[in-house]
Structure 1
Amino acid sequence: MPRFSLIVPCFKVQGFLRECLDSVLGQSFGDFELIAVDDCSPDGCGAILDEYAERDPRVTVLHLPENVGLGRARNAGVPHATGDYLFFLDSDDTFTPGALRAVADRLAESADPDVLVFDYARTYWWGGTRRNVLAHVLAEAGADTFTAAEHPEILDLLMVVWNKVYRREFVAEGGFEFPPGYYEDTPWTFPVMLSARRIATLDRICLNYRQRRQGNILSTTSRKHFDIHDQYERVFAFVAERPELAHWRPYLHRKMGEHCLDILAKPDRLPPGDKAEFFRRTAEMFRRHRPEGAAVDGEAAVLEGSWTGYRLRRQLVGAGRETARRAVQARRAAAGRARTGWASLHTHRPLDENLVVYSASSHRGLLGDPAAVYAMAREIAPQLRGVWVVRDAETAAQLPAGVEHVVVGSRRYLEVTARAKFFVNDVNWPGTLAKRPGSVHIHTHQGTPLKYAGADLRDKPGARLGFDVPQMLRRADRWDHSLVANRHSELVWERAYPCHFGSVRSGSPRNDVLVAGGSSDFRERHGIPADHTVVLYAPTRRDYRRSGHVDRIDLARFAADLGEGHTLVVRLHPSLASGPARGMGLAELARRGIVIDATDEAHVADVLLAADALVTDYSSIMFDYANLDRPVVVHADDWPAFTASRGAYFDITAEPPGHVSRTYRELARLFASGAWRDEESTRLRADFRTRFCEYDDGRAAERVVRTLLLGERLPDAEPPRIPGQPATRNALTSA
């Protein structure tokens, strides 16, 4: 008996069917049967299914003699299922890699619940990917099983059949089946979810929900949308036959009203001449199923009135929205004029010689090099007033107590940026910020460059998607000083940003703590045993994928292969932190304690100090980590694709900071054999440190504060050097 029976109904999807089937048959978990139902499709679906069945014994094909529709096609596959769990997959959607293994593991962990709800992502025809906006409901449900009554938020998720798996015996005992019609998921999902005694969740994206350019069948204009009434009648009948579910009637009553009104409100669902009839049928049904004593409020309350009243309300709402929109535009214009006037007023005042404005990572808080400079300035130059620019009130609330800040675009922001003598940032300031004569802009960058940046992206259209190179260079024209940690960076920045700044051989301020061997409480906070070897995996984003995320390593397998006495820590690229990348498995693995997710750690130095080894691909984090003189492994399995799409200033596989792996087997072997920390690794790391940690001596932040903010000259006659390096010109002056 297989673990899963996957039922895939097919009708007029020949362009997507192979991708769907390949996503199933290519899963690492193979204990399943695939029952494909050819719903008398007039295109080539039947032939495609037969082709797959011939070469894979797990595939069974049912050819229906006539077209019966999606719901009944699913029903046709159920009697042939022998698996523990039923999995209904639409034939234009796809599984994500590792999805079945993740579902199987979660089912085992939760002791075979009646229903398991997992996450999905919408994938758009133009290449975009968007995770389910209610994914947090899955995480908040926790590890234990529950009923819908115990966690009703589970019903807020999209009420469809394909984001769940169902224990086959539970389905048989409940007699659940799909009715004919347009909205066949409704009378399946509500009865199933309300009846389930044990529901579990999986906070992982297991399915890509394809968003076709012309929408799905429910997006078409048709009288078939009247089917929603019959489907809710089936739901109400199901509840009426089960007294134990009577308490759900008010919820279903409201849900039905809101669902029908949503259909009515969409301009492309119902023929214009049918809208009045649809409203009247909905209102009649709403009144007939209203539970005794139930209050009617919210959006559904309009169904207590007439069609004329509804139309008038819609017109008034529309007019009100237009009036509100114009009012907002007027207020914004007036506020803009006021802000411009306010800023202009302050530009006529002298610069404040002690005012330093800081920002990091597009105003995300106290981070990186600017934070290190700020901390040092507070220590050795208390007369300097440091003000941080943050993007919103939420970010401001996360700042440490006592940190002065302004929100970008506010009047206070305009005031301090008009008066500040110094500006310290690791990305460019907004184009609206005008550089006053006498002000000093210090650009810290965000690490040593391996990937192409700035003007070098002109021949890399994928990497500069949405990136305006001329605008970026106009903003870089405001730089006075560019901080560098090595001569490689100095040459690259002067080429990538052909502007009038001077290069300052200061070292990277954020790396001072690494050079000094600072302390970190990361292990203690995450409960990592003191004797464990901590391996940090820190991949970068990919420009050849629109989402930027590509799973290069099976994290669960890597954690297992590292073995006892090891802890795998994962830190995604900051640009992927709020996207679907974590939902592809990282969040669930972290919940289960298989890995530690350090993506949200505000201070990356804490993570680096806790790590005994770094595994990365092409992330600039390797240049920072090299200051710790600890082993690094470069996993370069897609180096040709990466360099073709993004470009690189040198071949990291030829000049690496440690061993290079090009396949997962090579990576696993490096750690299994201990080669990751052998003499060759040490030699490669030493050469790398000599070249790229050239000016990092633990005094970079002090050097920046004293020379660039205070105008002092340190007594050092020579720039900071790694032992064995030849002497160079003074690090305290701009190139």
Structure 2
Amino acid sequence: MPRFSVIVPVYKVQGYLRECLDSILTQSCTDIEVIAVDDCSPDNCGSIIDEYAALDARVTAVHLPENVGLGRARNAGVGHATGDYLLFLDSDDSYTPGALRAIDERLTVTDDPDVLVFDHVRTHWWGRGGRSMTADLLASAGTDTFDIVSSPQYLHLFLVAWNKAYRRDFFTGHGFTYREGLYEDAPVTYQALMCARRIACLDRVCVQYLQRRRGAITRTPGRRHFDIFAQYAGLFAFLDEHPELNGSRPLLFERMINHFLATLPLGERVLPEDRAAFYRETVGFYRRYKPDGFTPPRDAYRTQWRLLPGSPYPLFQACVLAERLRKASLRKKGELRRKTTRQIKRTIARTQRRRPLDPNLAVYSASWHRGVLGDPAAIHDAARMLAPHIHPVWVVRPDDVERLPRGIDHVAPDSPRYHRVTSRATYFINNVDWTHGLVKRPGQIHVHTHQGTPLGHMGVDLLGRPAARYHVDVRATLRRADRWDFSLVSSPYAQQIWDRAYPCHFTSIPTGAPRNDVLVRGDALRTVALRERLGVPGGNTVVLYAPTWRGHRKSYVPRLDLEHLVRELGPTVTLLVRLHPRDAKAEIRGLQLRDLQRRGLLLDVTDEPSVQDMMLVSDALLTDYSSLMFDYANTDRPIIVHGDDWAAYQAARGVYFDLPAEPPGHVSTSTDELTDLFASGAWQDARSAALRAAFRRRFCAYDDGHAAARVVSLIMLGREYPPSSIPQQDARQFRGAAHPALPDGTR
């Protein structure tokens, strides 16, 4: 008997069905059966599921003689199921990698509850959306189990079939069946939750819920959406048959009426000419099922709740419109207030610009005001030692202030003090551009440090790459670059690229990258402290995986099966994962990283403020096309390039050189190739060292460990900084813990 029976009702989804079935059959948990129910689909769905059944014995193809609808197709699938647990997956949706293993592990930890509820993410034709609104509710459950009587708030969970695992004997023992018509999920969801004695939650995104542009029943308006009333009538009939569940009646009544009120104004469901009738049905249900002593909720629908008992539809419609107009008026007032504030700030700035510049004031910012980071942070530290008379002020977003080191003077972007400081400061140090509204005065000095040596096209070179310059205004970028006085470079290669990509009036100075000084010099004590703070087991090899952002994709798509990689590397390897800042949204990482970290398989270090610290603590870098490879080469530690989509990246972004032909180390194009590199020890062999040395000579020529001091001396003190007495290549010796043995004993 399999662990899971996954039931997939199939109707007119031939364009999505293969992806759905593949997402099930390629799960790392293989103890499953898939029951694909062809609901007499008029397209090729029937032959597709027959094809899968012929290739994989775990697939059972069920062909219904007539179209019965989604709910009854699920019922037919239940009749063929033999697994411990029932899962339902709509045939245009898909499971995320590792979902079934995570579900199985949570079921085991919670001792096989009646129902397990898990999270989902909406995916649209233009990209992936956010997590469900009940994600926090799922997380709050932890690994405890509960029932609805003690935890009625869980009746707010999403009313669908596919975000739950039902113990099969519980589901069939209570005779739960899906009714004919739309909104068939709601009654079964509520019935199961109310009858369950033990419910568990898993706050992991397991399902990608597709929002189809065309063809979805829930987005096809018409009278079919009146099915919602019959579904809830059946639910309350169920309550009448089970008086022991009456304690849940008030909350179910609230959820029902809110469901009606949410559906009423949706143009993709209820046609305008049908809304009066839909409203009358809602009022009828309100009067028929309202529990004695019920108090309407004070939620987003509270105005409509007050109108329901006796207001005709025209009055209800007028009041709802008035409420919308009131909210719109408040928004307009807010916009006017913000506009007035902006005018006041501009007046402050103009007044300040009449005063002389302060020669001892420097303004710093890094990574869009995220904190004391990168090159500006290294220059700041050097200036405190070499030019203590220059007062530093950092521009930091309010959300990031709490992470600032103690004693840092800072201002919020666009605040009154920000305008006073930026109007009078002499030095401006940033690794990205200042906003367009900042006015540069004569005598002010702008130092642009960049965020790394470029591989992909930048500046004007993006003009021929429409996919790469999505939301990038190249003209505006060049206008901001016109403010640069100095551009810091690490190599002749970088200087040539920046001069070409930004044809502006700045001076490139061969200082090296200040942020890389610590990588060149090494810091053994700092490395040990970092490994302890991160919880890296003693003696483990640490691999830092840092993929880049792909501008031609709307959302983050994992390029590696991280669970498979970690399991192949074994317990003596610790994998650190650091996503690009543009891919660092919690809902995206929640698809995979949070779950893998919770299970102890890797460490998600995306939110660690200093990427240099993560490079210091690691023994090897695994990346694709990230500029971190140019920085990491300064450590003289192995670099592995995973370039499985190089052709697509090259075509979309444009590149300045052929990375697979001139890499800093070995190149892989599949997870299996990558695991072989580590298992064989080739990741740190002589060829890897030779490739890295050649890469370093070309791209790190000016990095000698004294870049920050050189910038302060040249720009703030007006004098040359003594050249390093250590030859550039000799300065880069491996510093830190020795590479421990990998599972096969290689080093």
Please state if 1:431 is matched with 2:436.
yes
Change (3 A) 1:195 1:704: farther
Alignment of 1:42-441 (within 5 A): 42-148=42-148, 154-214=154-214, 216-242=216-242, 245-298=245-298, 299-300=301-302, 301-302=305-306, 303-307=308-312, 309-391=315-397, 393-441=398-446
Provide the secondary structure at the position in 2 that maps to 1:653. helix
Q: Does 35-44 or 715-724 show the bigger shift?
A: 715-724
Provide the secondary structure at the position in 1 that maps to 2:661. coil
Provide the secondary structure at the position in 2 that maps to 1:265. coil
1:451 alignment partner in structure 2: 456
8 Å contact from structure 2 (residues 36, 49) kept in 1? yes
Please state if 1:709 is matched with 2:719.
no
User: In the alignment, residue 559 of structure 1 is paired with which amino acid?
Assistant: V
- Match 2:669 to one of 662, 674, 688: 662
- Match 1:564 to one of 551, 571, 587: 571
TM-score by length of 2: 0.90
Q: Does 615-624 or 110-119 show the bigger shift?
A: 110-119
In 1, Cα distance between the equivalents of 2:341 and 2:539?
A: 59
Q: Does 478-487 or 125-134 show the bigger shift?
A: 125-134
In 1, Cα distance between the equivalents of 2:704 and 2:156?
A: 54
User: In the alignment, residue 360 of structure 2 is paired with which amino acid?
Assistant: N
8 Å contact from structure 1 (residues 202, 588) kept in 2? no
- Match 1:592 to one of 599, 602, 618: 599
In 1, Cα distance between the equivalents of 2:119 and 2:532?
A: 31
Note the alpha carbon deviations across 1:679-706, whole angstroms, 9 max, x for none: 3333333333333332222222222222
1:146 CA displacement? 4.2
1:239 CA displacement? 4.1
1:614 alignment partner in structure 2: 621
In 1, Cα distance between the equivalents of 2:671 and 2:724?
A: 48
1:576 CA displacement? 0.8
Structure 2: tracts of 5 or more residues without a match:
733-747
User: In the alignment, residue 218 of structure 1 is paired with which amino acid?
Assistant: T
Change (3 A) 1:414 1:133: farther
8 Å contact from structure 1 (residues 20, 92) kept in 2? yes
8 Å contact from structure 1 (residues 219, 269) kept in 2? yes
Provide the secondary structure at the position in 1 that maps to 2:490. coil
Please state if 1:535 is matched with 2:577.
no
Q: Does 258-267 or 325-334 show the bigger shift?
A: 325-334
Runs of 4+ in 1 over 6 A off after TM superposition: 717-720
In 2, Cα distance between the equivalents of 1:330 and 1:656?
A: 54
2:745 alignment partner in structure 1: none
Note the alpha carbon deviations across 1:3-62, whole angstroms, 9 max, x for none: 322222222323333333343344454433222222233334334333443444433333
1:91 CA displacement? 1.7
Change (3 A) 1:693 1:203: farther
Please state if 1:497 is matched with 2:497.
no
8 Å contact from structure 2 (residues 149, 247) kept in 1? no
Note the alpha carbon deviations across 1:69-96, whole angstroms, 9 max, x for none: 2111111111011122222111222233
In 1, Cα distance between the equivalents of 2:521 and 2:658?
A: 30
Note the alpha carbon deviations across 1:261-311, whole angstroms, 9 max, x for none: 111233453343443443343234334434444432312432345235533
Q: Does 663-672 or 185-194 show the bigger shift?
A: 663-672
In 2, Cα distance between the equivalents of 1:661 and 1:218?
A: 44
8 Å contact from structure 1 (residues 505, 719) kept in 2? no
In 2, Cα distance between the equivalents of 1:496 and 1:620?
A: 16
- Match 1:524 to one of 532, 545, 552: 532
Q: Does 327-336 or 161-170 show the bigger shift?
A: 327-336
In 2, Cα distance between the equivalents of 1:479 and 1:683?
A: 37
- Match 2:554 to one of 546, 555, 562: 546
8 Å contact from structure 1 (residues 693, 722) kept in 2? no
In 2, Cα distance between the equivalents of 1:572 and 1:153?
A: 34
Q: Does 536-545 or 147-156 show the bigger shift?
A: 147-156
In 2, Cα distance between the equivalents of 1:356 and 1:335?
A: 26
1:733 alignment partner in structure 2: none
- Match 1:480 to one of 468, 481, 485: 485
In 1, Cα distance between the equivalents of 2:595 and 2:130?
A: 18
1:426 CA displacement? 0.8
Note the alpha carbon deviations across 1:355-395, whole angstroms, 9 max, x for none: 2222111122222111222233234333322222234x222
User: In the alignment, residue 592 of structure 2 is paired with which amino acid?
Assistant: G
1:4 alignment partner in structure 2: 4
TM-score by length of 1: 0.91
Q: Does 304-313 or 351-360 show the bigger shift?
A: 304-313
Structure 1: tracts of 5 or more residues without a match:
726-735
In 2, Cα distance between the equivalents of 1:450 and 1:287?
A: 67
In 2, Cα distance between the equivalents of 1:271 and 1:510?
A: 60
8 Å contact from structure 1 (residues 203, 587) kept in 2? no
User: In the alignment, residue 515 of structure 2 is paired with which amino acid?
Assistant: R
1:314 CA displacement? 1.0
8 Å contact from structure 2 (residues 7, 87) kept in 1? yes
2:738 alignment partner in structure 1: none
Q: Does 350-359 or 378-387 show the bigger shift?
A: 378-387
Provide the secondary structure at the position in 2 that maps to 1:500. coil
1:473 CA displacement? 1.4
1:731 alignment partner in structure 2: none
Number of aligned residue pairs: give it. 723
Change (3 A) 1:332 1:202: same
- Match 2:466 to one of 454, 458, 461: 461
8 Å contact from structure 1 (residues 141, 151) kept in 2? no
User: In the alignment, residue 411 of structure 1 is paired with which amino acid?
Assistant: P
1:145 CA displacement? 4.1
Q: Does 516-525 or 84-93 show the bigger shift?
A: 516-525
8 Å contact from structure 2 (residues 704, 724) kept in 1? no
1:242 CA displacement? 4.3
Provide the secondary structure at the position in 1 that maps to 2:631. helix
RMSD: 2.7
Note the alpha carbon deviations across 1:375-421, whole angstroms, 9 max, x for none: 33234333322222234x22234333432222223333222222221
Change (3 A) 1:399 1:322: same
Provide the secondary structure at the position in 2 that maps to 1:446. coil
Change (3 A) 1:480 1:287: same
Change (3 A) 1:153 1:446: farther
In 1, Cα distance between the equivalents of 2:386 and 2:724?
A: 21
Provide the secondary structure at the position in 2 that maps to 1:600. coil
